[in-house]
Amino acid sequence: MGDSRATLRSWWHDPVHYRWLVRTLESHFALGPVKFIIGAGGAVMLLINMLMSLSPAGPSGTVDRAIFAFAGFTAAVWTVRWWLFPWPGALTSLVLCTWADIAITASCLVDRNRVYGALSAMLLVVTGAYITFFHSPRALAVHAAWSLLSIGVLAGYVVTDSVGGDVALAAAMVLIMMAAIVVVLPGLQFCYWVLRTDVLSDPLTMLLNRRGLDYYLYRSRHRQCLSVIALDLDRFKAVNDTFGHIVGDQVLASTAQRLRAVVEPDAIVARTGGEEFAVVGELDRDGALATAERLRRAVEAAAGVPVAITASIGVAVCEGGADTDRPQLLLRCADSAMYEAKQLGGNAVVLAEPPIYVPDTAPTTPRRDLSRRGK
């Protein structure tokens, strides 16, 4: 039960890297089809709006017709925005969803046929489905609260406008909306989060894989102080060649546990290759070097390993600035420092000096500080 609660907390606090999701769709040439489908939802809503305007069950009176026209205008803007313009940013996306939610609820409230008005509130599931896949659980929770408030008001209309007050029908409509908004959509989002987490994880070590590292590195681009530590196991090939890949896998799994144990709780730890790892955190130069030395000693002191294993470690630190490409630049510089440590015989920590990031200029090959070496 405790593990389940921890999983649910991780899902709830997951910020969802919106731009990464969009770039993933773009890299698979799926951005165009998805944009068309989302825009088509607005086109369908516009068609529904036009049909109801011609129906006796539609709005009556100047104010009601104006509200209905506003809903139709919203559907038209939604369609044009998605079909003819680039994919919106995260904030614009949420604004569009909020606008659509308000327009849907408003149009439902002015339907003269209260039962149909309540049925039309199911269109909130459409915007909810979009939020499910592209925004955070908290954004979905806000949408769910608005949807339940809307159907609650509409259910009240059904009770007050029907002869004898059809409480059972009103309650059934509320339950239908709850099933869709409170059960189905969060369930889909949770399953989607689990699958995405699995895709971004290395099944052997349970650390992030390279794709997962890229996912979280992008989120780190605005941090003022950022450190990247690249680590490669020395002589690991001898383990596989002598004892087989099963033993090699055990060494990698135990190494991952030791790395996770000595870094800060909020550090990002990933397996980036066969026997290569990376640690990303908010550490200054001294903190990053201290962490790298703890990592080196933890690998060197491993017990139960058939062949002595050490680590070559490269460190890159930036203590200022913010740029989209900065995390990747730091990772490449830490990789270069790590390979230099390996060329020096391994079991060493090499620091890239000075900090590689200078705003508005291209990075240059850094000088190396070779003062940290294992004995």
Catalytically annotated residues: 275
For residue 45, which amino acid is it? Answer: M
Instruction: Please return the burial class of 25, using the count of CB atoms within 10 Å of its CB with bins 0-12, 13-18 and 19+.
Output: middle
Nearest to 128 by CA among 114, 143, 115, 138: 143
Structure tokens at 218: 């992008």
**Phi then psi dihedrals of residue 162, to 5 deg:** -95, 150
Inter-axis angle of helices 210-219 and 326-343, to 10 degrees?
A: 130
What one-character DSSP code corresponds to residue 280?
Answer: E
Strand partners, 311: 233
**Phi then psi dihedrals of residue 319, to 5 deg:** -115, 55
- Rounded CA gap, 116 and 55, in Å? 12
At residue 312, the 3 state secondary structure works out as: strand
- Rounded CA gap, 267 and 323, in Å? 20
Strand 225-234, strand 276-281: pairing: antiparallel
Strand 310-319, strand 348-353: pairing: parallel
